[in-house]
């Protein structure tokens, strides 16, 4: 091959590879993949998911490759004649039993360390009690007297009625908006206590990487922690079938920098005590 | 070799009309009844799925109110699991086990008939709950309390139907075991028995072990509902999570009960169309047995988010991942069977190959689900829905369809329309992926399961999935039409039917005579 | 009786005995369950709603744990609130916490508190020597009173646990239907 065009070929190949490998960074994967999330934990879970995915992909390519070769190379229409004696191969069979075990152990090891971390709720800076109801959430900041309900926002609630005639695409944050969101500080480990009033619900915000069931009569515990540099609004949904409106009790969490959060909580406490004073009169 | 069965020597055939079907104790007739019943249930369960995907076609609620939607998801699953997949595999067992082992019939023919009619009645009861105040059960097929205790008048009927189905399955399982253990033809040692019969021997043990557990669990629901017990009620000292343990202790082996016969079927089909015996026969038997054994110790992987101690999470992650090993062995053995074979692509083989590819994809998503911290993001999302539909639809259901295409000429004596069958295959195989593959994306992107309406970002993939559903559903009408046509007539089928038949069932004429192997064949 | 007849009778007898034995086993499970829980130490409400004992107080120096108190009233018709939302305690020492309960149902009735402790691992180290959760609580119409719980956090509480929560779900037992 002529040297100049070999060079051109290589540049083309290099260019294609470069754009292909930069694709992950440039593309919007939010519609096909798990979010990286806004906490260290959610990022670790995302990374773990990606490693599992790639391992499975590699094994799939090898396995499907073998199947395709078997089907094409040995097809009768190509004149293949069956080898009736091919019934066993002790070494091959041992290999494809033992090697998977090793791969599985390798896959499982990272999860141990992460699980220990997930189960460790010490060092928290705030405890929030979450109670699931049919069909809304209740949040309480333990020890502050601040508690409130969080329901599907009116705009979504009206639009979602059967035959409402309203196009959901015109409703902002359709089905992922509430009247009063949960507010938490960034950069703080927040301990979430989960329970329910009636049936089993589950609290899940994908960006936080954690999900846990809310079981009536019991408290469950998990922690979340939004990176200090990622204040913002994060949305999730109930993740355990809880009746007719299971799909209509979303979760909205507003993460504010600590100082702003403290100010917000103080205002809520004041409003709560004036409201209490008013009812006691 | 085998002494071909001859016509019924009473000089008359089976009774005519409805009396035949109410009184027959013939394994072929009972097998036919199970298969027809399961096809009907497949269409009914499919209609419910159609409603679900029609509602999910676009955001917003267009067709169903949320409570009815939940009835659809619940009944779709109950009908498909207990009415379509399980009875189909029982029907295949009834038809084929006696013929494969050289027995004249099942060991307990009258109990066999009773099992069938019990099942039919159970489904009449279950489906009738749609007409009761409060509607059909809407708590998901997993029936978790306390939610399930909010079911209206349908509740005791649903529980009763489940008891009847369980009894039917247990009796069927007993029948299979007694038949296989006692009635194999002389010379047919267990390790010479066809793999489909092996798969059913092991499935039968699983059924006997876990169906009573399910019965116990739903009975506790019943007493909590009517008799003020508190098994699952914290107020009285109980715990809703107890039900989940009891249910999934049944539920996980249950999904293996659905897939093991499909493994057996694939192990029959691939050798035939590779013109070569199965690679690693003993390993296949040990693999099925290991899968069955492991299926008992993984149940809590359905419950990782309930608040489980660390040790529990680790144990169940590892045990669940371990199941990949014997399953992998089977997949490699099927591939090795084709290797250096002479492979052709008749409809049964097409379905078996689609099974090989697509069940494996389901296996990979299962492996991902097994890993705990990641599962916290997958649990109760469409990622799980994608996983189990991959292993059940292009898994179990394609296995069953492959079996029908494989044995239909033996049952009817006619070859079916091959072109139509291939159309059915290709449409099904393509649409099943359009239907379920996007659901992986939806789950990862954050869409929970069992919701009738969703946020706007999920709209596109939901639409694609629904189009897949409509296509897949309509394609099944081809299957029904093909079967009806084949029963009515077609090119005469030979005894062997295929180019390289293996097994005793291919030594009898097609259609198989009403009574076969009345004198046991000799097996070498 | 013929040979097969004798064998059938013997088999029938054995099957009947097995059925009767299984039935009896079901009843025997009631006391057996408690024995099992005692022996293995497993038991959620069974263990939590029984008074614990403490042989003397031996507080652990240089360690405190925060115990939070909270309550839920799923049925409505009551309020149950902790008097103090949390307490900083030394493991090994006996403490007393108070809850205030009020009957808002409009009639006299009885309530039962079901305790739950989080994290789950901490449950076996939280010993209640006296608790209103051990017995049903009868309230007159509109009655309000304080209920107390006395507890010790076991010295052996794992070092990683610095905060635990005691939660009560308070149910109206007269309305408790399955």
Q: Using one digit for the tens of pLDDT, what is the confidence trace for A174-223?
A: 999 999 999 999 999 999 999 999 999 999 999 999 999 999 999 999 99
pLDDT band at B239 (very low <50, low <70, confident <90, very high): very high
Measured between beta carbons, the chain B residues lying within 8 angstroms of A215 are 234, 239-241, 306-307
Is the pLDDT at A8 greater than 80? The verdict is: no
User: Given phi > 0 = left and psi -120 to 50 = alpha, else beta, which region is B234?
Assistant: alpha
Mean pLDDT (chain C, rounded) = 88
Q: Is A50 helix (H, G, I), strand (E, B) or coil?
A: helix
Q: Mutation test of the interface with chain A: which of B58, B238, B307, B458, choosing the one with the most A Cβ atoms within 10 A?
A: B307
Torsion angle, alpha carbons of B517, B106, B78, B384, to 10 = -70
Average pLDDT over residues B17-35: 95
Q: What is the pLDDT of residues C99-114, one digit of tens each?
A: 999 999 889 999 999 9
Q: Using CB atoms within 10 A of its CB, is residue B357 exposed (0-12), middle (13-18) or buried (19+)?
A: middle
Query: CA-CA distance, A187 to C67, in Å (whole number)?
Result: 23
> Residue A17's pLDDT is what?
63
Strand partners, C153: C126
Query: CA-CA distance, B479 to B420, in Å (whole number)?
Result: 8
Can B229 be counted among the known catalytic residues? Answer: no
Strand partners, A196: A132, A216
Check C72 against A131: CB less than 8 A apart.
Answer: yes
pLDDT band at A19 (very low <50, low <70, confident <90, very high): low
Is the pLDDT at B232 greater than 80? The verdict is: yes
Q: Is A59 helix (H, G, I), strand (E, B) or coil?
A: helix
Secondary structure E strands in chain A = 126-133, 136-141, 146-150, 182-185, 190-196, 201-205, 210-214, 220-224, 232-238, 251-256
Q: What is the pLDDT of residues A227-279, one digit of tens each?
A: 999 999 999 999 999 999 999 999 999 999 999 999 999 999 999 888 878 87
Which helix (H) or strand (E) is B286 found in, with range? Answer: helix B281-294
Displacement of CA B38 from its chain's centroid (Å): 10
Average pLDDT over residues B372-378: 95
In degrees, rounded to 5, the angle at the alpha carbon of residue C78 between the alpha carbons of residues C73 and C84 is 75
Can B488 be counted among the known catalytic residues? Answer: no
> Residue A30's pLDDT is what?
80
Pair A182, A255: CB distance under 8 Å? no
Pair C69, C86: CB distance under 8 Å? yes
> Residue B1's pLDDT is what?
37
* pLDDT per residue rounded down to tens, chain C (178 residues): 688 899 999 999 999 999 999 999 989 998 888 888 777 766 655 566 677 777 777 888 889 999 999 999 998 889 999 999 999 999 999 999 999 999 998 899 999 999 999 998 898 899 999 999 888 999 999 999 999 999 999 999 999 899 999 999 999 887 544 3
Is the pLDDT at A6 greater than 90? The verdict is: no
CA distance B97 to chain A (A): 24
What does the block give as tokens for C93? Answer: 């020492």
Q: Mutation test of the interface with chain A: which of B142, B240, B242, B374, choosing the one with the most A Cβ atoms within 10 A?
A: B374
Q: What is the pLDDT of residues B196-205, one digit of tens each?
A: 999 999 999 9
Q: Which of C123, C58, C48 is nearest to C91 (CA)?
A: C58
Mean pLDDT (chain A, rounded) = 91
Q: What is the pLDDT of residues B452-509, one digit of tens each?
A: 999 999 999 999 999 999 999 999 999 999 999 999 999 999 999 999 999 999 999 9
Task: List phi, psi (to 5°) of C117.
Answer: -120, 140
Can B302 be counted among the known catalytic residues? Answer: yes
Which one from B28, B184, B276, B302 is the annotated catalytic residue? B302
Check A142 against C68: CB less than 8 A apart.
Answer: yes
A91 close contact with B: CB closer than 8 A: no
A74 close contact with C: CB closer than 8 A: no
- In the stretch 126-155 of chain A, residues with CB closer than 8 A to chain B read none
DSSP string for B176-220: HHHHHHH-PPTT--GGGS-HHHHHHHHHHHHHHHHHHHHHHHHHH
> Residue B404's pLDDT is what?
98
Rg, Å, chain A Cα set: 27
Measured between beta carbons, the chain C residues lying within 8 angstroms of B227 are 178
Mean pLDDT (chain B, rounded) = 95
Q: Per this entry, what is the length of chain B? A: 524
Which helix (H) or strand (E) is B349 found in, with range? Answer: helix B347-370
- In the complex, which subunits touch B with 3 or more CB pairs below 8 angstroms? A, C
The pTM assigned to this predicted structure is 0.93
What does the block give as tokens for C112? Answer: 């039962």
Q: Is the peptide bond between A135 and the residue preceding it cis, with omega within 30 degrees of 0?
A: yes
Is the pLDDT at B6 greater than 80? The verdict is: no
CA distance A258 to chain B (A): 27
């Amino acid at each position: 091959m002529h040297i100049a065009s070999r060079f051109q070929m290589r540049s083309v190949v290099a260019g294609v590879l470069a754009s292909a490998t930069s694709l992950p960074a440039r593309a919007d994967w939010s519609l096909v993949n798990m979010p990286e999330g806004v906490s260290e934990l959610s990022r670790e879970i995302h990374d773990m998911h990606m490693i599992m995915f790639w391992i499975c992909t590699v094994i799939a390519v090898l396995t499907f490759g073998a199947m395709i070769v078997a089907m094409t190379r040995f097809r009768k229409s190509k004149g293949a004649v069956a080898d009736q004696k091919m019934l066993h191969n002790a070494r091959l069979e041992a290999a494809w039993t033992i090697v998977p075990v090793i791969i599985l152990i390798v896959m499982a090891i990272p999860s141990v360390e992460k699980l220990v971390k997930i189960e460790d709720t010490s060092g928290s800076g705030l405890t929030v009690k979450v109670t699931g109801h049919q069909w809304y959430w209740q949040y309480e900041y333990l020890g502050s007297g601040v508690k409130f309900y969080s329901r599907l926002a009116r705009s979504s609630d009206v639009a979602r009625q059967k035959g409402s005639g309203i196009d959901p695409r015109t409703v902002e944050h359709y089905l992922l908006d509430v009247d009063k969101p949960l507010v938490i500080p960034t950069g703080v480990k927040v301990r979430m206590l989960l329970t329910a009033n009636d049936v089993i619900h589950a609290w899940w915000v994908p960006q936080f990487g954690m999900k846990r069931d809310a079981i009536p009569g019991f408290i469950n515990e998990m922690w979340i922690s939004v990176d200090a540099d990622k204040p913002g609004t994060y949305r999730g949904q109930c993740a355990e079938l809880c009746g007719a409106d299971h799909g209509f009790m979303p979760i909205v969490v507003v993460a504010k920098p600590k100082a702003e959060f403290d100010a917000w909580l103080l205002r809520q406490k004041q409003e709560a005590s004036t409201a209490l004073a008013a009812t006691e009169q | 070799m085998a002494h071909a069965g001859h016509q019924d020597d009473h000089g008359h055939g089976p009774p005519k009309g409805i009396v035949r079907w109410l009184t027959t104790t013939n394994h072929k007739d009972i097998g036919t009844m199970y298969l027809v019943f399961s096809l009907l249930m497949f269409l009914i369960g499919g209609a419910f799925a159609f409603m679900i995907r029609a509602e999910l076609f676009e955001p917003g609620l267009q067709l169903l109110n949320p409570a009815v939607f939940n009835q659809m998801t619940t009944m779709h699953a109950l009908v498909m699991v207990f009415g379509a997949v399980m009875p189909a595999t029982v029907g295949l067992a009834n038809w084929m086990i006696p013929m494969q082992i050289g027995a004249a019939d099942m060991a307990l023919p009258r109990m066999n008939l009773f099992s069938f009619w019990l099942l039919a009645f159970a489904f009449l009861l279950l489906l009738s709950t749609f007409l009761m105040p409060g509607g059909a059960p809407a708590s998901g097929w997993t029936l978790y309390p306390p939610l399930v205790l909010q079911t209206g008048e349908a509740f005791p009927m649903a529980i009763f139907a489940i008891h009847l189905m369980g009894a039917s399955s247990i009796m069927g399982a007993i029948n299979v075991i007694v038949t296989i253990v006692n009635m194999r033809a002389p010379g047919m040692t267990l390790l010479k028995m066809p793999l489909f019969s092996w798969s059913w021997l092991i499935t039968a043990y699983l059924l006997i072990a876990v169906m009573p557990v399910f019965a116990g669990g739903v009975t506790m629901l019943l007493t909590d509902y009517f008799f003020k017990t508190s098994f699952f009620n914290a107020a009285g000292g109980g715990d809703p999570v107890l039900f989940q343990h009891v249910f999934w202790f049944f539920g996980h082996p249950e999904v293996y009960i659905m897939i093991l016969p499909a493994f057996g079927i694939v192990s029959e089909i691939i050798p035939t169309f590779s013109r070569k015996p199965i690679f690693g026969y003993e390993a296949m038997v040990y693999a099925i047995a290991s899968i069955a054994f492991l299926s008992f110790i993984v149940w809590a992987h359905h419950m990782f988010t309930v608040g489980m101690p660390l040790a529990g999470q680790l144990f169940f992650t590892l045990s669940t991942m371990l199941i990949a090993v014997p399953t992998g062995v089977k997949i490699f053995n099927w591939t090795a069977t084709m290797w250096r074979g002479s492979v052709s692509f008749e409809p049964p083989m097409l379905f078996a190959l689609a099974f090989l590819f697509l069940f494996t994809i389901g296996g990979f998503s299962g492996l991902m689900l097994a890993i705990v911290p990641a599962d916290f993001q997958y649990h109760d999302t469409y990622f799980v829905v994608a996983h189990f539909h991959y292993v059940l639809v292009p898994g179990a259901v394609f296995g069953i369809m492959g079996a029908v295409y494989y044995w239909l000429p033996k049952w009817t004596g006619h070859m079916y329309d091959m072109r139509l069958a291939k159309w059915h295959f290709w449409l099904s195989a393509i649409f099943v992926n359009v239907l379920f593959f996007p659901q992986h994306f939806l789950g990862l992107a954050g869409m929970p399961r069992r919701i009738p309406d969703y946020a706007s970002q999920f709209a596109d993939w939901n639409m694609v999935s629904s189009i897949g559903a409509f296509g897949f559903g309509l394609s099944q009408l081809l299957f029904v039409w093909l079967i009806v046509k084949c029963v009515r007539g077609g090119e005469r089928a030979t005894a062997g039917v295929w180019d390289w038949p293996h097994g005793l069932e291919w030594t009898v004429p097609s259609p198989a005579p009403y009574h076969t192997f009345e004198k046991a064949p000799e097996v070498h | 009786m013929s040979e097969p007849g004798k064998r059938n009778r013997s088999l029938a007898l054995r099957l009947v005995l097995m059925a009767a034995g299984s039935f009896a086993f079901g009843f025997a499970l009631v006391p057996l369950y408690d024995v099992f829980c005692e022996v293995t130490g497993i038991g959620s409400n069974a263990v939590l709603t029984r008074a614990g004992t403490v042989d003397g107080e031996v507080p652990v120096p240089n360690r405190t744990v925060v115990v939070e108190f909270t309550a839920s009233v799923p049925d409505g018709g009551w309020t149950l609130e902790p008097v103090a939302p949390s307490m900083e305690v030394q493991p090994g020492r006996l403490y007393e916490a108070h809850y205030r309960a009020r009957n808002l149902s409009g009639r006299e009735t009885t309530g039962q508190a079901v305790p739950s402790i989080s994290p789950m691992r901490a449950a076996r180290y939280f010993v209640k020597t006296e608790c209103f959760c051990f017995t049903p609580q009868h309230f007159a119409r509109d009655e309000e009173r304080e209920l107390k719980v006395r507890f010790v956090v076991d010295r052996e509480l794992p070092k990683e646990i610095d905060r635990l929560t005691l939660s009560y779900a308070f149910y109206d037992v007269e309305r408790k239907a399955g």
